[in-house]
Amino acid sequence: MVTTGTFGPMCSSGAHLNIGHSQPRIKLGGERVYLNGVPAYTGLAAVERNIPFFHGAIYAFEGRAMTIIPGKTACLRCVYHGVVPGEKFPVMGVAPGVIGCIQATEVVKYIVGIGELLTNRFLIYDGLNLTFTELRVKKDPNCEDCGHVARKK
């Protein structure tokens, strides 16, 4: 059953979607994952709970995506050092659909165990010029969000 918080059931499938205030969670085939589309959400809850996190953010015609596997890959705080701005932002064009499709693809690949995930890579979509840019990112062993997860193992 797929639900969206107070909006009720949307369709019948093997998935359960729970969209909370800032940390949407999906449980599919026994796997629990976090999805988000909020730029200010760093994924700390996913890191602390050791749950894979599929990040997506939109600003006007631009979109960004990244997959985080706690304890193994860089997290958003490794990319955005310091305070992540929480301002309102414009959404234009089809960027939400493009980034949403990338996030959905990443979740399916993770659950099925195929393909190369978007881990330690930050994908930027530029809808105005219709380009994709991929940046390599490194896990920061001193990261305030995920550094302790690596140290526990």
Compute the mean pLDDT over every residue in the chain, rounded to the nearest whole number: 76
The domain in which residue 123 lies consists of 34-152
Task: Please give the chain's pLDDT, 153 residues, in tens.
Answer: 223 333 223 233 333 333 333 444 555 556 677 776 555 566 777 888 888 999 998 889 999 999 999 989 998 888 877 666 666 778 888 999 999 999 999 999 999 999 999 999 999 999 999 999 999 999 999 888 888 765 554
Q: Which residues contact 22 (CB under 8 A, 6 or more apart)?
A: 36, 38, 41
Query: What's the number of domains the chain is made of?
Result: 1
The enclosing domain of 40 has a CATH number of: 3.40.50.720
Q: Is residue 112 part of a domain?
A: yes
Q: Is residue 74 part of a domain?
A: yes
Helix (H, G, I), strand (E, B), or coil: what is residue 92? coil
Q: How many helices (H) and strands (E) does the chain have?
A: 4, 9
- Is the overall model pTM greater than 0.85, yes or no? no
Q: Is residue 19 part of a domain?
A: no
pLDDT tens digit sequence for 46-89: 888 888 999 998 889 999 999 999 989 998 888 877 666 666 77
Q: Is residue 44 part of a domain?
A: yes
Residue with tokens 């105005």: 128
Q: Is residue 21 part of a domain?
A: no
Q: Is residue 28 part of a domain?
A: no
Q: Is residue 77 part of a domain?
A: yes
